[in-house]
Amino acid sequence: MGVEKMVCLASRTGRQFQRYNKGRRQVVGCVPYRFKLSNDGKISDEVEVLVISSQKGHALMFPKGGWELDESVEEAASRECLEEAGVLGNVEHQLGKWDFLSKSRGTYYEGLMFPMLVTEQLELWPEQHVRQRIWVSS
């Protein structure tokens, strides 16, 4: 008997539970990656990364968004990948932290990024109608 997964098809909204550090909203995200399959179906050592379109479709980016008070940083990173890119996987150690200025809001943010080894790509996900996802390799 197979195990069925239940995935919420709605993105979290609102900012009342957002985390802040020194007045900067904290956002987390992932660099989703997988190992490419070779022509004979075996896993190669070539890596592909997943990028998504912005909601307005003018740029490609990695999934990221607000870190909320009721979740660990890894849970937040994983949730953003599910909501924005429709992928599940294993969140690994933090790549880095940076401060950036939001062009649309004119405020500073603190960002944290993680690599995520993708284990599953879903056909249905919360933001599928407002984003495209694209696997790219070097």
Q: Express each pLDDT in 13-37 by its tens digit.
A: 555 788 999 888 999 999 999 999 8
Please state, rounded to an integer, the average pLDDT across all residues of the chain: 88
Among 96, 89, 54, 60, CA closest to 75: 89
Rounded-to-integer distance, Cα 70 and Cα 84, Å: 19
Residue 17 is predicted with a pLDDT of: 82
Rounded-to-integer distance, Cα 74 and Cα 90, Å: 9
Tell me: pLDDT of 109 over 70.
yes
Residue 69 is predicted with a pLDDT of: 93
If you average pLDDT over residues 114-130, what whole number do you get? 96
Domains of the chain as residue ranges with CATH: 20-137 (3.90.79.10)
Instruction: Name the percent of the chain lying above pLDDT 70.
Output: 88
More confident residue, 11 or 42: 42
More confident residue, 8 or 113: 113
CB 88 within 8 A of CB 122: yes
pLDDT in tens, 61-101: 999 999 999 999 999 999 999 999 999 999 999 999 999 88
More confident residue, 138 or 10: 138
Beta strand extents in 92-132 (DSSP E only): 96-101, 108-121
How is residue 57 written in tokens?
A: 């479709």
CB 26 within 8 A of CB 112: yes
Tell me: pLDDT of 3 over 60.
no
- pTM given for the model: 0.82
CB 68 within 8 A of CB 12: yes
